[in-house]
Structure 1
Amino acid sequence: MAPTTYLNQLNTAEKMSEPWPNNAILYQPYEAEQILLHEHASCLAVKAYLKMCNLPFEICSRANAEFMSPGGRMTKLPVLRAGQFILAEFEPIVNFVEHKNAGVGQRLNDDDKIDMRTYVSLAENIFTMAELYISFVNDKVYNEVTAPRNGCVYPWPLSVIQNISKRKQALRLLKVYQWSGLTIEEVIDKVEKCCENLTIKLEEFEGDYFYPDGPCDLDAIVFGHLYTMLTIQLPNMALAHTVQKFKNLVKFCQLIDLKYFQTKSA
């Protein structure tokens, strides 16, 4: 190994071991005017996770937040700046927190960690694909919500170009994961089966969270997606109506919202 490479690795390791910075910033699109369904879910999941870890951070809304991501566009939100590090999306941010020994999932034993990560992958993949499908394949949602919100920060005709580009990216991603040819009924069926699995998991320990002794990564990712589906108003509310069938998941979302996001009175 070259000396410079070894030194760079040592420097990175030393920086990773530094305490969580007090000036960490989480960048996201504007919530009221701009943010899209899947982006809102991802941003909310990360916020929930950081709050569960009791880590300080500031939220900063930027029109160009998606272009700040080190990994490029499409589902690469939110963007976290913590000290000298810039990361994007749920999993890389969770890994970064765990390197600082501040992750809430670290209390789990090895078997539970493997189990948890399987559920995290399942929930994130199914729910993200469903959110992209309803936002970009359903014409009514796309024309009335997705396109106006995505294009609102750009002047015409750049807004039209950006919308065409974003839709192409979403459809390409859906095609890669074999979701583009599905009907809305098939999409809802996938979401419903995922919710059924999560319901069984949530009931396993008969507590407020998916695992005993407090929240973990799975609680954050499930809350981010399901709470977004339940609360964001769309011309097609099929996702919300599906989630509403699972009363324990709805109750779970209400608990997380109350505990970590509602302002406590003095």
Structure 2
Amino acid sequence: MAASMELLCWGGDWDLPSVHTESLIVLAYAKFAGAKLTVKPVDWTWRTITGKNPDILNDFVCEMNRQPSLFPKQRFNADYELSAKQGADTMAYIALLEEKLQPALLHTFWVDAENYSSLTKPWFAAHSPFPLGFFVPGRLAGAALSRILLTKAEAPLHSITEVEGKIYSDAKECLNLLSHRLGTSLYFFGNAPTSLDAFVFGYLAPLHKASLPSGQLQQHLKQLHNLCHFCSTILQNYFTEAGRPHSNQDAVDANLQKLTQLVNKESNLIEKVLPKSAQPGHDVEKRLIS
């Protein structure tokens, strides 16, 4: 009997089991391969401050980059029926996703000012414990920007403004290719999902479900009805339970708002009673600002 497996990952929202692409890939692949995971949504605690999120415990190996078998030690494999050519196609399409689509997704959620301030930053700040919520979103946004510039800012493109047009053009071309490859099929290699379906789902689902105020790439995806249906099919067939907690999302948001107001009220009282140099967290605040 295989040892129980525990997955630490960012939690869900927007009717998704997780808002995090890499976490979605692991969750989807586990479903496709029949691997049973105990999922524990975690905030950005010191336990995961190294950036290993998602993290699979119990001596579990998870190679996210171009690795068809995400669970080799436990012998769970969603690709065992694929031919050698289909396996090669899988590797090629995963590389395409990383090269063409990932930079635009990073820009959409972490660099686009409107999306970042209205959606991404508030979500990750609210799901990080005090005082980490003040700098975790900024740290992740900085990493996203650095990754885009490192991989795409080649001469004569040197700034994010110059790169922006190129990465969105590449992403739309990638979505078109995926749509053409999927066609009218349920999944990319027939009637059973494979690792390629897990990767495509992980990349597309947040773009498909998030309420983005600035969403040129999202609007393009909505025009590709087969890809939208693909995401909806996986959610319905494998993650039906993921949407249930969000039926009470208004109550959750109301509680979060009350908690925020209470924290702000207590902070204001502390500021009135104590000089700033004596207030709790003053040293932390100074380090973060510097």
Classify the TM-score, shorter chain: 0.7 to 0.9
Matched residue type, 1:84: D
Contact 1:28 1:66 in 2 (8 A): no
Alignment of 1:79 onto 2:55: yes
One-letter amino acid of the counterpart of residue 23, structure 2? C
Mapped to 2, the partners of 1:117 and 1:41 lie a distance apart of 18
Greater Rg over alpha carbons, structure: 2
Question: Are the equivalent residues in 2 in contact too, given 1:78–1:88 (CA < 8 A)?
Answer: no
Give CA deviations for 1:205-260 in whole Å, capped at 9, x if unaligned: x5311113521111111112212111111221222211111111112222212211
Whether the aligned pair in 2 keeps the contact of 1:244 and 1:250 (CA below 8 Å) is yes
Does the 8 Å contact 1:24/1:80 carry over to 2?
Answer: yes
Per-residue deviation, 1:174: 1.1
**2:151 is the alignment partner of 1:160:** no
Alignment match, 2:199: 221
Match of 1:121 in 2: 95
Flag structure 2 segments of 5+ consecutive residues without an equivalent: 154-159, 242-290
Root mean square deviation, CA, Å? 3.0
Unpaired runs of at least 5, structure 1: 1-18
Letter in 1 for 2:104: A
- CA distance in 1: counterparts of 2:89 and 2:129, whole angstroms: 43
Residue among 34, 40, 46 paired with 1:54: 34
Distance 2:165 2:120 in 1: 21
**The residue matched to 2:34 in structure 1 has which SS?**
coil
1:237 aligned partner: 215
| Corresponding position: 1:143 with 2:117 | yes
Question: Following superposition of structure 1 onto structure 2, how do residues 1-266 of structure 1 map, counting pairs within 5 Å?
Answer: 20-21=2-3, 23-32=4-13, 40-64=20-44, 68=48, 72-73=50-51, 76-81=52-57, 83-85=58-60, 87=62, 89=64, 95-152=69-126, 153-156=128-131, 158-178=132-152, 180-182=160-162, 184-203=164-183, 207-212=185-190, 214-263=192-241
Q: How many residues of Structure 1 are paired with residues of Structure 2 in the alignment?
A: 233
Pair 1:54–1:176, CA change in 2 (3 A): same
AA matched with 2:6? I
Identity %, equivalent residues:
20
Please state whether the residue corresponding to 2:240 is helix, strand or coil.
coil
The verdict on how the C-alpha distance between 1:117 and 1:161 changes in structure 2, with shifts beyond 3 A counting, is same
From the superposition, tell whether residues 166 and 91 of structure 1 become closer, same or farther in structure 2 (CA, over 3 Å): same
Supply the distance in 1 between the matched residues of 2:28 and 2:46 (Cα, whole angstroms): 20
